Structure 1
Amino acid sequence: MARPFSQIGYRNKRISGKAATGLILLLIFLSHPLAAQDNNQVVPPLKWDLQACLDYAMKNNIQLNSLRLSKKTGEQDLLLSKAARLPNLTGSATQNIAGARNAELAYGVHPSGSYSLNSNVTLFNGGYLTNDIKQKQLTVQVLDLNVAQQINDITLLVTEAYLSILLAKENIVYVKDVVSTAEAQVLRAQQQFEVGSIARKDLAELQAQLANEKYLLVTAENSQRQNTLTLKQLLQLPTDTAFEIVAPDTLMGIGLLTPVQEAQKVALDTRPEVKSGELGVQVAALDLAKARAGYLPTLSAGGILSTSYQKDPDYTYFKQLDNNFYQQIGLTLSVPIFTRRVNKTNVEKSKIEIDQSRLALQNTKTNLSQIVEQAYINVVNAQGQYDAAVEQFKFVQESYRIATEQLNVGVANMVEYLQQKNLYIQALQAYIQAKYNAALNIRIYDFYRGVPVKL
């Protein structure tokens, strides 16, 4: 049996209402993740290992992103330079209304108008446009190399801050262990003092030693907080962001070092600052070519299309536009004869700029060679310090263990024990420092050889 039309319409309204409600809920559901994505373009990783820190810094560091924007500006300048070869086209339209009296002293309104299109194109200008395009292309490459150089700088800064945090965290672990041992010794000494087994002086010395070790612990914790802040600033992380780096399983050992001459050659052949300096010389040379173009004539072509009308009872509006239609095409040759030394000055200044660019390139190469050599020296020194620190820590740790056992059985002199303990703490901190210093310096040296930084 067919249902009444009114019931069918009512059911369709209900379905439409449900569909609309579902659509609204769906849009609300989708809007939240989209809004979150807009507010946080790069979602912080859950695991902050060194690679995650480097990846996040490459996307968020302000100085790096500023250089990327500068590169985009250079790309726009290149497009503008290429477009200078094309003809331009401008249009103009003028509409006037004039009021005046005629011979019979009758006042009348007289409309008039004129319309035109103008175009001009440069045919020859001594190669200025061609050289300008080449120069802008090289400039874009230089800006791209500036980005690469900033990436290298950030990589080293992030790695240094990351390893500094690991150093502080490991130092905290060891110092906490020393503090726990000292607290147990003070508690035991307190009990011995109460029964008269040790003097008050011995107890006070242990208590003073405990206070000093707690101070060392606070210093290590402050160092970790400071280095964490430094790393968060490099990553452009908000201060309230939860941030805890993940320590690697092991630090890579130091193998056979590449000879410094080989490392210098690789750095000079691959580093972006050297390539940027070389391109800088080429950019200056193109400036000279552009300056010399000022001595040459410029040839351009132009054309005009125009028409006009004014109130005339004998001719209609469109008839006047047709009768007054005007076309012109021509060539213009401009020859510089006397420019009050403008061209000569531009040429001489461009030559000076070439010399400056060559000096800058030479200085960049010299500085880079010295930096690589210093990195090599740092690695050699760090390796020697690490080997010595390991040896020292091994023997001092054994001496401290023996002194602790002697103290526990009551046969150790308190002064000698505290001396051994201080030597142990110093050797421990020297060992940790030497280990991370060696790990950092070998990575810096390898990085100049083109080896990616990793743990």
Structure 2
Amino acid sequence: MKKLLLPLIAIAFSFSSANAQEKWSLEKCINYAKEHNIDLQLRKLDAEIQSNNTKQSKFDLLPNLNGNTGYDFSYGRTLTADNTYGDMNTQSGSVGLSASVTLFEGFQKYNSIKQNELDLQASLQDVEKAKEDLALNITSSYLNILFNKELLHIAQEKLKVTKLQIKRTEALVEAGTLPKGTLMEQNAQAAREALEVVNASNNLDLALLDLAQLLDLENPTEFDISIPELPVLNATRSMVDPESVFINALEFRPEMKAARYRLESSEKGLVIAKGQRAPSLSMSGYWGSSYSKDFQERGLLRDDNGDLILDDENRPQPIIIRNEMKLGDQLSNRERKSFGFNLRIPIFNGGIVNRNIANAKINIDRSKLNMENRKNDLRKEIQQAHANAKAAMNKYFSSETAVSSTEEAFRYTEEKFNLGLVNSVDYNQEKNNLFQAKSNLLQAKYEYIFRTKILDFYNGIEIKL
């Protein structure tokens, strides 16, 4: 049994380790964030509330139907059946149904439905905007991790070169070609570069933590990303015209759609406010009945021939037929029904309608200004994105040229150093220049990729690596 159990434990452990070491792609990060990001979930809940408001405005067109019932206990003096007052304890109940429906009120309810539908579409566009902003933030963090991974690799390569050079220096010192101080300077340089490796590793850990926290991961210690195949960067790529991107973005960007929906909603608000000036016509109906435990069914006294028996003043004489009528009989005999129409004509209501109309016009002006403001912001964002992408492209290809020329200079200096024609200070300076140029190229590379992705983002192209 133990022989069987141990392999199973080992297999389970290997599977759990594999899952823990699973690396996340950019697409997985974005999809996960869309499902778990709390701010985005709050946006979705706001849209659900607006959806419920839209449904309710449609139900408002239907008639309302309400039932009522009650049961009362009365104590003390009251009017009796003999038209006198006496102490009585009575019990009574009632039941009823009422219904009403608005037939016309200036199409306010109909326009409210339209307004709520527009508000719902605006809320849905807010959700889409939040999704795109989240994807952009994740892409930035993802590229920052890739940048720090390569920066760590450059620091490690730099230290590796120094360690190889120390071995050569040791041989030259032993041969008496170089002084011992040169070896000491190389060891000190290696210590400084080892610290650079530690700092680069720490920066990578922090970049991974930033993305893990952006994803709201509970345990970010095992989090890592996969290395994608990055797009080829070349100088022949032409930048899209920012004005054409702006014209295109006006049609599909969610913030612009939301602004248009809100403008249409405010225009519906004005129509609703004007509808308050129109007469309103409603129809209502009621059915009800009641029951009393002490209810007495009364009649008129008659002789054997069925003729009324009159008193001395020629009045019919009442008589109690039953002291208490059954519940079913009472509800049937005492039921009440009503049906009617109600026409309301607004004449003067303290200027409320005029105020609502004036405020609705102001809301339209405000929506127009908000839309124009959003349009101006979008134009500025696209212009800035284009300028940043162009600057990043120029910086990248200039850095590429700088690395190429610095590599040649370093090879020449390294050859002279190995021959003892250059001291270690000049050698290390040239080596630092080379790796600084590589770091600058690396930074320009990821900045160029990110800036072009932002420009593509405004042009309606999905963010992918």
The offset of 1:435, in angstroms, is: 0.9
The offset of 1:300, in angstroms, is: 1.2
Question: 1: CA distance between counterparts of 2:87 and 2:338?
Answer: 38
Q: Which of 368, 372, 380 is 2:378 aligned to? A: 368
Q: Which of 334, 345, 352 is 2:344 aligned to? A: 334
Cross-structure match for 1:171: 151
- What runs of 5+ residues in structure 2 fail to find an aligned partner? 1-18, 296-322
| Partner amino acid, structure 2, of 1:258 | V
Question: 2: CA distance between counterparts of 1:133 and 1:160?
Answer: 41
| Partner amino acid, structure 2, of 1:344 | N
Cross-structure match for 1:288: 270
Q: Secondary structure at the match of 1:301?
A: strand
Cα 1:206/1:44, change in 2 over 3 Å: closer
Cross-structure match for 1:183: 163
After superposition, give the CA deviation of every residue in 1:356-410 in whole Å (9 maximum; x if it has no partner).
Answer: 1101111111111111111111111111111111111011112212222332332
Cross-structure match for 1:31: none
Cross-structure match for 1:308: 290
Cα 1:115/1:241, change in 2 over 3 Å: farther
The offset of 1:195, in angstroms, is: 7.3
Cα 1:45/1:266, change in 2 over 3 Å: farther
Pair member with larger Rg: 2
After superposition, give the CA deviation of every residue in 1:410-444 in whole Å (9 maximum; x if it has no partner).
Answer: 23222321221121121010010111111111111
After superposition, give the CA deviation of every residue in 1:257-279 in whole Å (9 maximum; x if it has no partner).
Answer: 22222211111111011111111
Question: 2: CA distance between counterparts of 1:47 and 1:204?
Answer: 42
Question: 2: CA distance between counterparts of 1:273 and 1:44?
Answer: 39
Cross-structure match for 1:32: none
Cα 1:147/1:252, change in 2 over 3 Å: farther
Whether the 8 Å CA contact 2:173–2:179 is kept in 1: the answer is yes
| Partner amino acid, structure 2, of 1:88 | N
Q: Secondary structure at the match of 1:295?
A: coil
Question: 2: CA distance between counterparts of 1:226 and 1:297?
Answer: 67
- Does residue 87 (structure 1) correspond to residue 98 (structure 2)? The answer is no
| Partner amino acid, structure 1, of 2:205 | R
Cross-structure match for 2:446: 436
Question: 1: CA distance between counterparts of 2:203 and 2:357?
Answer: 56
- Does residue 77 (structure 1) correspond to residue 57 (structure 2)? The answer is no
| Partner amino acid, structure 1, of 2:382 | V
Higher helix share: 1
| Partner amino acid, structure 1, of 2:196 | L
Cross-structure match for 1:267: 249
The offset of 1:151, in angstroms, is: 1.2
- Does residue 49 (structure 1) correspond to residue 49 (structure 2)? The answer is no
- Does residue 239 (structure 1) correspond to residue 219 (structure 2)? The answer is yes
TM-score, normalization by structure 1: 0.85
Whether the 8 Å CA contact 1:44–1:56 is kept in 2: the answer is no
Identity of aligned residues (%): 31
| Partner amino acid, structure 2, of 1:239 | N
Q: Secondary structure at the match of 2:227?
A: coil
Cross-structure match for 2:3: none
The offset of 1:207, in angstroms, is: 3.5
The offset of 1:110, in angstroms, is: 2.3
Question: 2: CA distance between counterparts of 1:164 and 1:376?
Answer: 20
After superposition, give the CA deviation of every residue in 1:29-70 in whole Å (9 maximum; x if it has no partner).
Answer: xxxxxxxxxxxxxx9994411111111111111111111111
Cα 1:340/1:201, change in 2 over 3 Å: farther
| Partner amino acid, structure 2, of 1:285 | E
Whether the 8 Å CA contact 2:209–2:220 is kept in 1: the answer is no
The offset of 1:196, in angstroms, is: 6.0
Q: Secondary structure at the match of 1:427?
A: helix
| Partner amino acid, structure 1, of 2:281 | L
Deviates more, 1:402-411 or 1:294-303: 402-411
Q: Secondary structure at the match of 2:276?
A: helix
Cross-structure match for 1:68: 44
Cross-structure match for 1:344: 354
The offset of 1:170, in angstroms, is: 0.7
The offset of 1:180, in angstroms, is: 2.0
Cα 1:391/1:314, change in 2 over 3 Å: closer
The offset of 1:289, in angstroms, is: 1.4
- What runs of 5+ residues in structure 1 fail to find an aligned partner? 1-42
Over the aligned positions, Cα root-mean-square deviation in angstroms equals 2.4
Question: 2: CA distance between counterparts of 1:297 and 1:149?
Answer: 42
The offset of 1:210, in angstroms, is: 2.5
The offset of 1:135, in angstroms, is: 0.7
Q: Which segments of structure 1 move beyond 6 Å, counting only runs of 4 or more?
A: 101-107
Whether the 8 Å CA contact 1:45–1:52 is kept in 2: the answer is no
Cα 1:393/1:356, change in 2 over 3 Å: same
Cross-structure match for 2:389: 379
Question: 2: CA distance between counterparts of 1:174 and 1:124?
Answer: 77
Cross-structure match for 1:205: 185
Whether the 8 Å CA contact 1:81–1:136 is kept in 2: the answer is yes
The offset of 1:198, in angstroms, is: 3.9
The offset of 1:314, in angstroms, is: 5.0
| Partner amino acid, structure 1, of 2:127 | V
Q: Which of 422, 426, 433 is 2:436 aligned to? A: 426
Question: 2: CA distance between counterparts of 1:409 and 1:45?
Answer: 48
Question: 1: CA distance between counterparts of 2:435 and 2:384?
Answer: 30
Deviates more, 1:216-225 or 1:116-125: 216-225
Cα 1:200/1:86, change in 2 over 3 Å: same
